[in-house]
Amino acid sequence: MCRAEQQRAYEAALLNSVHDAIISTDRDQVIVSWNHAAEALYGWTALEAIGQQLDVLLDTRCGNGAPRTCLERLDAEGHWEGEVVQRRRDGSLVHVLSSLSVMNLPDATRVGVVAVNRDLTHSKQLEREIHHSRRMEAVGRLASGIAHDFNNILMGIIGCCHLAEGQLDAREPARDYVSEIGYAAERGVSLVRQLLAFGRQRAKPPVSLRLDPLLEGLRTMLERLLGEDVRLVTSLRARGTVLADAGQLEQIVMNLAVNAREAMPGGGTLEIATQDVELSADDAATHLDLTRGRYVMVRVADTGVGMASDVVERAFEPFFTTKGIDGTGLGLSTVYALVRQLDGHVEVDSRLGVGTTFTILLPHHGEVGADPLPRFVPGPHEVDAPATLPAAPGEPPVATPEPARREMVLVVEDDSLVRMTVRFYLEDAGYEVIDASEPSEALALPDAQLEQVAVVLTDMVMPGMSGREMMRQLERRRPSLRAIYMSAYPGDMLVHEGRLEAGLPTLQKPFTEESLAQALRQTLDC
Ligand code: ADP
Ligand code: MG
């Protein structure tokens, strides 16, 4: 081989070993060279592409303007770089970062243009997925915020309708209008419940499914999400099935993966493992939400920055984030809510600078085979997910509550509309009522009066002090005093946020006269 041939072979090897598509054209945009990466990216061989008009072949569209604008800039400045969308041989679109340079001979005659094009499809997809997941988290947060405020308003409207209906004669035409207002408000209630359900990602009807194929199916998406610096390792060995909706399980894994990725800015390893495990009665006894038996275990472990113990403590709280305005604090609370919806258990074990492992146990539904199952070994820093409260009092079908004796109820509620409604319901049911518009008012009641109170019905969030804190102070004066906690949020969420201990009676607003009566009887008669 002569020197010139050697040089050409070297240059061809150079062009073909680059991962970006490198294409050159003559002055009329006719393709002159087309490297291996261009063949792989667009689907045409060099033989097919050479001789064609570049922009016609690739149907190039500039991100923010016609190809002309790019070419004009190229003419004027000799270089242009920007994002373009092009079409592959199979018709699919590809997002490309294109760098165009004018090629000149040593005597400055222009011979053509060289394009170096990099495929951006994966990073664009990743951006969209991250954006989507963030948006979902943000929407959930907005939804619960709106639902919370709306609940109080609707409760007042429904209560006033009830009140007005009671006072209007049956023949009074205005009664129909009042009923209509009531119906409209009831529709509002169901809307608000949907909003709350969305914020909490309530489940679709679950089906029996195996985790391993589902996780296998997520692999491509996970790899994209994690990016090149994070290695995904899987060890899928669960044969058991769980009762769940595929979307719920996917969201659990995706939320954990998003966090893991954010915890590994310099790269690392994400390991996802599944296994069937058997929980002995002893193992289960240490967890409020677990019973002995078979479970399918999912472990998601990263080698990221880890969490300090105070972060571990609060990690599952809704809106808790260490990421400033970039964080929503809803990733893990959603995981938590979803796992609880599946009657499962989630815990976290983390060490600063070493990494974080999430372990999820989901009740085993179908057969796993006859092999003896390994025992479940909890992580050293486990966080006990709080148990949910018993179903909201009054929700299961219960016979009409017994007529109330003249017991006294202390109502503490800062929203006057809600306070008035609750008072009306209680008096209608035959209770005696004293009310307070804020905790300090209730705390100022003389001992003699406090002695007569059969039960306290209190709002959770009030100015100055929470309903729970107020009760702690009242309990010091009268330890046997019982309370029902009213909130727009379901009881399990209050427990989860650490605002209420598990097992205390709650009543989700807006509630009806019937459910209030039932809740009172349950608390007073037990
Ligand atoms: P967000 O990601 O919006 O902050 P999350 O509920 O997903 O909200 O997580 C709450 C907090 O828990 C994070 O801000 C972070 O401090 C911590 N965290 C969650 N996952 C991990 C992890 N894999 N590694 C380290 N810290 C984590
Ligand atoms: Mg997150």
Q: Give residue 456's pLDDT.
A: 97
Question: If you average pLDDT over every residue of the chain, what do you get?
Answer: 83
Least confident among 28-42, 74-88, 265-279, 393-407: 393-407
Interval 418-428: pLDDT, tens:
898 899 889 88
- Count of the separate structural domains present in the chain: 4
Q: Are residues 10 and 84 in the same domain?
A: yes
Q: Are 467 and 495 in contact (CB under 8 A)?
A: no
Domain endpoint, select from 119, 149, 177: 119
Confidence of residue 465 (pLDDT cuts 50, 70, 90): very high
**Ligand 2 centroid – CA 333 distance (Å):** 9
Q: Give residue 397's pLDDT.
A: 39
Mean predicted confidence (pLDDT) in 162-182: 87
Give the domain CATH number at 11: 3.30.450.20
Ligand 1 atom nearest the C-alpha of 304 is 24
| Portion of the chain with pLDDT greater than 70, in percent | 84
Q: Is residue 396 part of a domain?
A: no
Q: Is residue 401 part of a domain?
A: no
Residue 140 Cβ contacting ligand 1 at under 6 Å: no
Q: Is residue 307 part of a domain?
A: yes
Give the domain CATH number at 342: 3.30.565.10
Ligand 1 atom nearest the C-alpha of 305 is 25
Identify the three-state secondary structure at position 375. strand
Q: Is residue 221 part of a domain?
A: yes
Q: Is residue 399 part of a domain?
A: no
Q: Give residue 267's pLDDT.
A: 94
Interval 356-387: pLDDT, tens:
999 999 999 876 444 555 655 554 433 333 33
Confidence of residue 166 (pLDDT cuts 50, 70, 90): confident
**Ligand 2 centroid – CA 314 distance (Å):** 13
Q: Are residues 412 and 494 in the same domain?
A: yes
Residue 133 Cβ contacting ligand 1 at under 6 Å: no
Q: Are residues 230 and 370 in the same domain?
A: yes
**Ligand 1 centroid – CA 389 distance (Å):** 26
Q: Give residue 201's pLDDT.
A: 45
Q: Are residues 193 and 333 in the same domain?
A: no
Least confident among 142-146, 180-184, 321-325, 358-362: 142-146
Q: Are residues 107 and 12 in the same domain?
A: yes
> Best substitution site from 133, 200, 259 to test ligand 1's pocket, by max atoms within 8 Å of Cβ?
259
Give the domain CATH number at 194: 1.10.287
Q: Give residue 194's pLDDT.
A: 62
Range of the domain at 216: 206-388
The residue contributing the CA closest to ligand 1 atom 13 is 321
**SS3 sequence of 413-465:** CCCHHHHHHHHHHHHHCCCEEEEECCHHHHHCCCHHHHHHEEEEEEECCCCCC
Q: Is residue 55 part of a domain?
A: yes
Residue 331 Cβ contacting ligand 1 at under 6 Å: yes
Q: Is residue 87 part of a domain?
A: yes
Give the domain CATH number at 472: 3.40.50.2300
Domain endpoint, select from 355, 388, 421: 388
Interval 175-185: pLDDT, tens:
989 989 988 89
Give which of 484, 513, 487, 511 is closest to 425, Cα–Cα.
513
Mean predicted confidence (pLDDT) in 120-129: 71
pLDDT higher than threshold 70 for residue 392: no
Any residues with CB less than 8 A from the CB of 282 and at least 6 apart, and which? none
Q: Are residues 225 and 355 in the same domain?
A: yes
**Ligand 1 centroid – CA 115 distance (Å):** 42
| Continuous H helices in 168-238 | 174-199, 211-226
Cα 388 → chain centroid: 19
Residue 304 Cβ contacting ligand 1 at under 6 Å: yes
| Portion of the chain with pLDDT greater than 90, in percent | 43
Residue 323 Cβ contacting ligand 1 at under 6 Å: yes
Q: Give residue 38's pLDDT.
A: 96
Instruction: Give the span between the Cα atoms of 503 and 239, in whole angstroms.
Output: 35
Residue 357 Cβ contacting ligand 1 at under 6 Å: no
Q: Are residues 211 and 178 in the same domain?
A: no
Domain endpoint, select from 119, 134, 168: 119
Give which of 39, 60, 61, 59 is closest to 48, Cα–Cα.
39
Q: Are residues 230 and 371 in the same domain?
A: yes
C-alpha distance across the termini of the chain, in Å = 99
Ligand 1 atom nearest the C-alpha of 302 is 23
Rg, Å, the chain Cα set:
32
Q: Are residues 362 and 461 in the same domain?
A: no
Q: What are phi and psi of 174, to 5 degrees?
A: -60, -20
pLDDT higher than threshold 50 for residue 103: yes
Residue 456 tokens read as: 């306290």
Residue 307 Cβ contacting ligand 1 at under 6 Å: yes
Q: Give residue 151's pLDDT.
A: 82
Residue 319 Cβ contacting ligand 1 at under 6 Å: no
Confidence of residue 310 (pLDDT cuts 50, 70, 90): confident
Residue 322 Cβ contacting ligand 1 at under 6 Å: yes
Q: Give residue 302's pLDDT.
A: 97
Ligand nearest to the CA of 316: 1
How, if at all, do strands 453-459 and 408-412 pair? parallel
> Best substitution site from 135, 303, 317, 321 to test ligand 1's pocket, by max atoms within 8 Å of Cβ?
321
Ligand 1 atom nearest the C-alpha of 311 is 16
Q: Are residues 213 and 362 in the same domain?
A: yes
Entry field: residues in the chain: 526
Higher pLDDT, 492 or 409: 409
Ligand 1 atom nearest the C-alpha of 322 is 14
The residue contributing the CA closest to ligand 1 atom 21 is 259
Confidence of residue 285 (pLDDT cuts 50, 70, 90): low
Residue 259 Cβ contacting ligand 1 at under 6 Å: yes
Q: Is residue 468 part of a domain?
A: yes
Instruction: Give the span between the Cα atoms of 117 and 88, in whole angstroms.
Output: 13
pLDDT higher than threshold 70 for residue 139: no
Q: Give residue 391's pLDDT.
A: 33
Ligand nearest to the CA of 271: 1
Residue 333 Cβ contacting ligand 1 at under 6 Å: yes
Q: Are residues 107 and 176 in the same domain?
A: no
Give the best-scoring range by mean pLDDT among 147-161, 197-211, 284-298, 379-393: 147-161
Confidence of residue 23 (pLDDT cuts 50, 70, 90): very high
**Ligand 1 centroid – CA 259 distance (Å):** 6
Only one residue has tokens 């969308």, namely: 85
Q: Are residues 211 and 342 in the same domain?
A: yes
**Ligand 1 centroid – CA 327 distance (Å):** 8
